[in-house]
Amino acid sequence: MRNFLLLIALLLNLSAFAQLRFDYPIKEIEPIELIVTFSLKYQEDSLNPDFIRQEDMLLFIGKKTSKFTSSDNFIFDTTMRRISSVAELQSFLSDPNKFLPRTSFSYNIFKNYPKDKITCIEHTLDGTFKYEESIDLFNWELTGETDTIGGYKAQKALSDFGGRKWIAWFSSEIPYNDGPYKFNGLPGLIIKAYDDRNHYLFEMVSVERPPQKLMIDYSVKDFIETTKENFFRAKDAFRVDIVNRLKASGASSEIQQKMARGMKKENNPMELKRK
Residue 216: which of 48, 60, 55, 53 has the closest Cα?
Answer: 60
The mean pLDDT of 10-30, rounded to a whole number, is 65
Confidence band, pLDDT 50/70/90 cuts, at residue 81: confident
Asked if residue 66 is part of any domain, the answer here is yes
Q: Which residue has the higher pLDDT, 126 or 159?
A: 159
Residue 5 pLDDT: 46
Asked if residue 275 is part of any domain, the answer here is no
The model's pTM: 0.89
Q: Identify whether the C-beta of residue 149 lies closer than 8 Å to the C-beta of residue 192.
A: yes
Asked if residue 203 is part of any domain, the answer here is yes
Asked if residue 274 is part of any domain, the answer here is no
Asked if residue 271 is part of any domain, the answer here is no
Confidence band, pLDDT 50/70/90 cuts, at residue 21: low
The mean pLDDT of 218-237, rounded to a whole number, is 91
Asked if residue 142 is part of any domain, the answer here is yes
Asked if residue 54 is part of any domain, the answer here is yes
State the residue range of the domain holding 254: 2-265
Interval 138-162: pLDDT, tens: 999 999 999 999 999 999 999 999 9
Alpha-carbon distance 97 to 79, whole Å?
A: 14
Number of independent structural domains in the chain:
1
Alpha-carbon distance 81 to 26, whole Å?
A: 10
Confidence band, pLDDT 50/70/90 cuts, at residue 3: very low
Interval 167-209: pLDDT, tens: 999 999 999 999 999 999 999 999 999 999 999 999 999 999 9
Residue 128: which of 224, 220, 9, 218 has the closest Cα?
Answer: 224
Asked if residue 128 is part of any domain, the answer here is yes
Q: Which residue has the higher pLDDT, 90 or 7?
A: 90
For 67: left if phi > 0, alpha if psi spans -120 to 50, otherwise beta; the answer is: beta
Q: Identify whether the C-beta of residue 29 lies closer than 8 Å to the C-beta of residue 254.
A: no
- What DSSP state is assigned to residue 7? H
Residue 254 pLDDT: 82
With b for 16 or more beta-carbon neighbours within 10 A and e for fewer, the 250-271 pattern comes to ebeeebbeebeeeeeeeebbbe
CA distances from 254 to 2, 246, 251, 259 (A): 18, 11, 8, 9
